Structure formats: structure tokens, C-alpha cells
Amino acid sequence: MTLAQHVRQALKEIADPDKAPVMRSYMKSSMPFLGVQAGPRRTALRRVFAAHPIDGAPEWRRAVLEVWREAEYREERYAAIELSGYHRYREHQTLYTIPMYEEMVVTGAWWDLVDEIATHRVGGLLAAFPDTMRALMLDWARDGDLWKRRTAILSQNRFKKATDTALLYACIEPSLSDNDFFARKAIGWALREYAKVNPAEVVRYVQAKGISGLSRREALRNVTGSTTPPAQP
């Protein structure tokens, strides 16, 4: 059996079909669910990954994409994302993984799949290879694909004081005129995370750019007191 087949079997063994329709409805997913909740899923997958180690970075990337591409249920795509971040393969997180993550972002095309990749996988590459990844994030920020833009915007969400503010703003600004919910939410979320370490700067930026609506509410959600600017007319 391939690793993808072992993953599929393990997930089916712990599936609760009664939960599947509710999970699918909540996620507004075109792909069906098996009905496997997050905790049991992670436990089962850790056992599978430990029992079936992969030799070499190319083989690991092929395995991730095999699980991803052959997925019939959404939990299988979650499994591919978890395999991509499994601790045993941490050393494989190099620039060679960019095409893999790009494919997963573009074909995943929904927040539950994209956001983990953006903040933990692409963000990790940005921290490790800032020069190359900075240029790539600037390209993705201007891409016609919404989910690549969202990934660029969210890529520094875990950086806190290490945030490259100029890059953050450069990734946000191509999407400021986009009325799509997921673009607006990403802008607000990214600014809210940065506001945890520099609230005054986020307030200044929101005010200077006239950011309003959902993005503004998200950005300033945890900013209180005299630094909060008045609402835009």
C-alpha cells in the first residue's frame, strides 16, 4: 500500500458518517467529508506517518501531492497539509517546496486549506529564505488568484516583532480595492496580528489608507483607548 492508501484507510476507520454532513455544511465545501474531527484525525495521522517513513525530500514532496491530488474527502487534504508539516521532514522545508505549496494554495482555494499553508508553511519559508521569498510574496500579492494574494498577505502572521512592515503593506495594498470577503478578512487579520506588537502603527496605517468595513473592524478589534481613530465617514 502507498502512504496515501494508508492515510485513507486510517481516516475511514475513525470516521463518523453522521458528522460528515454537518462538517461539510459548516465549511461550505464542495468536497465531501468523512466525519473525522480534528483531534482523532491528528492522532491517527501521527501513527500512520511514524509507521511509514519517507526517504528523501523528493519522495516526501511526491507523497504529499499524492495524498492531496487523490483526495476524495476533505480530511484527506487536511492529511496532506499535516504531512507537509510533519516534524520528521522539517529539513525538507526548502525553496524546492514552493511549487508544491503553490499548487495546494491554488487548487485548495478555501480558507481552511490555504490559511495553514500560508501562515505555517509559506511563512516558514519566508523566515528561512527572506530574500527569495520576499520577491515571491510581492509577486503573489499582485497575482490574479485570490488565494495566492491571501497567502502573501497572511505569510507574516506569526512573525510578531520580526514582521517586515514594508513587505506587509506591499502585500496588502494590491488587494485594498478588492471587495471579496476573503481578501478583506485577510487584510484585517494580518493587521490585527501586527497590532499585537505595534498597535499605534496599525492605527496610523488604517487611518492613512482609509481602510474601512470588515478590514478595519478586524484590524482594530483588539485596539482600545485613545489610539483608536474615529470611524471614516
Q: How many CB atoms lie within 10 A of CB 42?
A: 14
| Amino acid code (one letter) for 139 | D
Could you give the CA distance from residue 97 to residue 133 in angstroms, rounded to a whole number?
Answer: 12
Between CA 154 and CA 114 the distance in angstroms is 10
- pLDDT at res. 224: 73
Q: Per-residue pLDDT tens for 84-94?
A: 999 999 999 99
Provide the percentage of residues in the chain whose pLDDT is more than 90.
95
Per-residue confidence band for 28, with pLDDT thresholds at 50, 70 and 90: very high
d(CA 202, CA 212): 13
Residue 87, Cβ neighbours under 10 Å: how many?
7
Question: Please, what sign has the CA dihedral across residues 95, 97, 102, 103?
Answer: positive
